[in-house]
Structure 1
Amino acid sequence: MPLIEKPKERRITPVIPSRRNRCYPRQIRFPLCKKRNETGRFFARLKQFRGIATRYDKLLSTFLAAVQLVFAIIGIN
């Protein structure tokens, strides 16, 4: 069974586009693909902050506060 069939069985919409040279390209929704790209880029920027990437904070509340602070910094820039 191909890898793409398992998410379809669970009613998960694939958002990764297929290769251009594929004989029968998969149909995807580009707004979902765009949102996936934005989310991936956000997490890449979030990981640039060392304290977040290595999770120095032991308590969940302080870690979430640090994530919110970094999110605000990224949003300002």
Structure 2
Amino acid sequence: MQAPSLDAPDLALSDLMDIWPETIAVFLRYRMLCVGCMVGRFHTVTDACRSHDVDETEFRAALAAAARVRA
């Protein structure tokens, strides 16, 4: 089974952090409370950005940069 894309619109935050653990630092840097949150199984990046009033385009770029560090 192939891993989902980091940009998949329906990717749950918990899955994102499981697949790309280096992105956890991005959530913490943006002071988002998503790391370890029980809702992470249901929330997407869009949901989290909306909830925390974070610019989604900027945040996704930071996630991608963090994930590229491993690649």
TM-score category of the 2 structures, normalised to the smaller one: 0.3 to 0.5
* Higher gyration radius (CA): 1
TM-score normalized by the length of structure 1: 0.31
TM-score normalized by the length of structure 2: 0.33
- Which structure has more relative contact order (CA 8 Å, sep 6+)? It is 2
